[in-house]
Amino acid sequence: MRYLPLSGQSSTPIPSHDFACAIFDNAQFHNGPLKILYVLVSTPRCGSTVLCAEIYRQSGLVVHEYLQPAEYLPALASRMGVIEGAALRPGSTQVISLSKYLDELIRRRAVNGVLGVCCHASHLVYLNALVKRARQINPSLEVQQDYLSRRNKFKQASSYAIASQTRSWSQTLPSETAPSSRLMRWSLAIRAAGLYQRLQKQDRLVKNSYKHGEFTRLLTYEVHVEDNLAAIAKEITSGFMPESEESICAVPVSLQRQSTDLNVKIVALLMQYRLLLTVLYRLRKVVVVIRRVVHSWFPSSQGQSTRLNKGNCLLDTEG
């Protein structure tokens, strides 16, 4: 497929302290070829941001979600000027050239010929397109892939459910007020039950790929990554960065835990009523499917307009 749809828009604001901001670009643009592509495959709320921050602190390499289609990819493409000029008309579909986007990422973010990408397992279609394009430019490109998993899937699913509800994916992005009513807590717990199943499935698929040699390391948060963060980051960067005893990052990074009383309550519900919540989640999915069928039979002009305008970006994988 030449064109991949993006769910976000190029107008998404990026705060000044987010890794996607210009202050984390190279002080001097990288002019050489891309020799190594380091990929950290992860799932939402697994601890990847903490690990990427430590990698940056030690090496100056910004491993980030450059392929996240909802916010980062469209916003970065806009900042880097790689959206087709003819598509900049208000309300028109914007086309992002993957080739130009990759060139700008290398110039602005590569260090010593190395580019780091953090990619959620659900976004691998964009990663595959990027790797294919990068290898067309440099057939001898080395790709190193690690997978970061979180041991406590109950905590991860609960955090994932809250973040997707409040849009609070990190301390750097604006969020909505977290729901506090008992009904809303149960609604979040039902969502967490579905996400728990999804995370378990993604783990099984990736670990099966690991058996076939597609990943270099399987890293587990809350077992050894959390306790030995600096050592794990050093092990990762030792394969492509000169050893350094001191922090060499250009911009200080500050991260805070997002665990709240709401997280604790959702985890408790999920652990105690997981089977019931899973059944309710499946029933909710059935209701959603029925609603879609009904709307397809009786479409409204207002709903049609909303669907068409929700995402207006395409990634041109051959451009």
Number of folded domains in the chain? 1
Q: How far apart are CA 250 and CA 271, in angstroms?
A: 42
Q: Output the six-digit token pair for 217.
A: 């390391």
Q: Tell me, what CATH number does 34's domain have? A: 3.40.50.300
Tens-place pLDDT, residues 174-204: 445 555 688 889 999 999 999 999 999 988 8
Tens-place pLDDT, residues 6-51: 876 666 677 777 899 999 999 999 999 999 999 999 999 999 999 9
pLDDT tens, residue order, the chain (319 aa): 788 988 766 666 777 778 999 999 999 999 999 999 999 999 999 999 999 999 999 999 999 999 999 889 999 999 999 987 544 445 567 899 999 999 999 999 999 999 999 999 889 999 999 999 999 999 999 999 999 999 999 999 999 999 888 766 554 444 455 556 888 899 999 999 999 999 999 888 888 877 777 888 999 998 888 889 999 999 999 888 766 545 555 565 655 555 678 889 999 999 999 999 999 989 988 988 888 888 878 765 444 433 333 457 899 998 7
Closest CA to 190 of 166, 161, 169: 161
**Alpha carbon 167 to chain centroid, angstroms:** 13
Tell me the pTM: 0.82
C-alpha pair distances (Å), 37 with each of 50, 101, 209, 281: 20, 15, 18, 38
Domain that holds residue 263: 3-316
